Structure 1
Amino acid sequence: MNDVRAIQSPPVTTGNAVDFWAARPLEALGGEYGRLRCRFINSHPVGSWDDFILSEWTLDSCAWEDFHPHSETAFVLEGELHIESQGKTVVLRPGDSARVNPGSLGRYWAPVYARMITIYGPNPEGLESHSFRYSEV
């Protein structure tokens, strides 16, 4: 299984007055994650972090599930995204957002297509996400 945290080398946070991260393309996760693409924008969710981590995802008739110790907020840019956690399901359309709170398993799926920006964290204890599961719908 590919590790989604290892698809790109992490951008550097300098600690200077302004950090800049050049645009990078979305990358297909490949293999068993055929219809899922992402890019981590300002950092990777590895180890501990006291700030937030920004990423962009597209789901093309697929679903992603994981457990994370930090919050995960999704903001939908295009399409329709369904999110389920702890028995509650919401449907997001462009401009909508929702957060799966820390310590929860979240399932995200797009019956047709969705593009979203996500915000992770913070995660000061450095606890790892787990229970990754991909499926096509």
Structure 2
Amino acid sequence: MTIATQPTSLTTGESIDLWSAKSMKVMKDAWPRLRCRFINADPIGRWEDFRLSEWELEACGWEDFHPHSETNFVVEGELHIESEGTIVILRPGDSARVNPGQLGRYWAPVYARMFTVYGPNPDGAESHSFRYFEI
């Protein structure tokens, strides 16, 4: 039996894939209230599996179009999501998915921390129409 107690890099095995902890980072200098970390891989190009990330929003939001699904699970605070005229408000323990091919708008009036899962993107189409805003 092998026990990994403090991983230092991605370890891929037959039964367990393991990813090292990373710090949250500001997405861009011009977007100081939006922080994230991509946990298992950056969402770039084609991927057949999922992409897991963690996000923090402080009185800000963004919108973008995804060719893949995006599921958000709120850990702290309150997250608002709008797509195709439908708005949902998520609180700790709640989750919602914006389906592939939709424009999603995500915002936290005060604060939100959530985990996000992007579904497969086998065609490698890129997200677009990204817009950041502060509240």
Using the size of structure 2 for normalisation, the TM-score is 0.89
Matched, 1:109 2:102: no
Query: Cα deviations across residues 83-109 of structure 1 (Å, max 9, x unaligned)?
Result: 000000000000000000000000000
Amino acid at match of 1:90: V
Question: How many residue pairs were aligned?
Answer: 126
2-side partners of 1:13 and 1:61: how far apart? 36
The answer to whether the 8 Å contact 1:49/1:126 transfers is: yes
1-side partners of 2:102 and 2:28: how far apart? 26
Comparing 18-27 with 37-46, greater Cα deviation is found at 18-27
1-side partners of 2:106 and 2:71: how far apart? 11
2-side partners of 1:35 and 1:94: how far apart? 20
Gaps of 5+ in 2: 1-8
Q: 1:13 to 1:104 in 2, by over 3 A?
A: farther
2-side partners of 1:125 and 1:30: how far apart? 26
Query: Cα deviations across residues 107-126 of structure 1 (Å, max 9, x unaligned)?
Result: 00000000000000111111
Using the size of structure 1 for normalisation, the TM-score is 0.88
- Please list, as runs of the form range in 1=range in 2, the aligned pairs for 1:1-137 lying within 5 A after superposition: 14=12, 16-17=13-14, 18-137=16-135
Q: The residue matched to 2:30 in structure 1 has which SS?
A: helix
Gaps of 5+ in 1: 1-10
Runs (4 or more) in structure 1 with deviation over 3 Å come to: 11-14
Offset of 1:30 from its aligned partner?
A: 3.4
1-side partners of 2:45 and 2:10: how far apart? 14
- Which protein is bigger by CA-based radius of gyration? 2
Q: 1:12 to 1:48 in 2, by over 3 A?
A: farther
Cα RMSD for the two superposed structures: 1.3
